[in-house]
Amino acid sequence: MSFRLNWGVGPVHYRATTSSPEAERAIRTRLEPWLRPEDAEAWADWKLLPAAEGWSLSCSRPEFAARSGTLSQLIQVMEYQSVAWLYGYPDLLVLHGALLSRNQRGRVILGPPEAGKSTLALGLWQNQGWELLSDDCIVLPAASAMAWPGPRRLSLRFASQPLLEPGW
């Protein structure tokens, strides 16, 4: 049996294929906010398969070298490499920052590393009624007023983690 999952940001589509129900569940859990129906050609096809020792990950992109590791490590590699490729995708501007929305209006928080972008986004999300779309990267198509959240979850530095509501 083979499982296929599709995800992406804006015009960039990725696909992961695995023969393992365990891997399918883990990929689905990690990438759930960015899953899509299978409606477009994938820019990169990933294959995640059980191996003699752990798991193996390969990709249709020639610049990616196949590797092995734990399931969790390889899903993280797949996610992070997919985000990294956004920076070189034609006609997209990718910004390092947070993207929030309220009343169908978007707000972008930009700043240098460790400036508190994620902490500010968390405060607006938990206390001011904003919807947190992304805290790491924002994808803007060329010549457009649209923005897409990058496939990344809230990532706080250790000092800011006590600000999270109980149960996080």
- Report which of residues 94 and 49 the model is more confident about: 49
Residue 168: predicted pLDDT: 47
CA distances from 106 to 18, 22, 45, 147 (A): 36, 36, 31, 8
CB 100 within 8 A of CB 106: yes
101, pLDDT greater than 60: yes
When pLDDT is cut at 50, 70 and 90, the band that residue 148 belongs to is: confident
pLDDT tens sequence across 10-46: 888 999 999 999 999 999 998 887 888 877 789 999 9
Residue 137: predicted pLDDT: 83
Average pLDDT rounded to a whole number, residues 144-153: 74
